[in-house]
Amino acid sequence: LIDNAWREDKLPHEDVAIPLNELPEPEQDNGGTTESAKEQEMKWTDLALKYLHENLPPVGN
């Protein structure tokens, strides 16, 4: 699976374009999170509705 040609292969040293929403916040002085804006946004939309639905108490008498 691994040969010498594969081992010697190197990735280019070019800049890689990364969307800004994938980068962590630039100001980390306040001890904030290192999560990207996209990761933080996903937390707010994950309301654990599946968990709530599965653990509903029985309704009725």
pLDDT tens sequence across 17-61 = 888 777 776 665 556 667 777 777 776 666 667 776 676 776 665
- What pLDDT is stored for residue 60 in this prediction? 66
Give the predicted TM-score (pTM) of the model. Answer: 0.28
Q: Which ranges of 12-48 does DSSP label H, i.e. alpha helix?
A: 37-45
- What pLDDT is stored for residue 4 in this prediction? 92
As to burial, measured by CB atoms within 10 angstroms (0-12 exposed, 13-18 middle, 19+ buried), residue 40 is middle
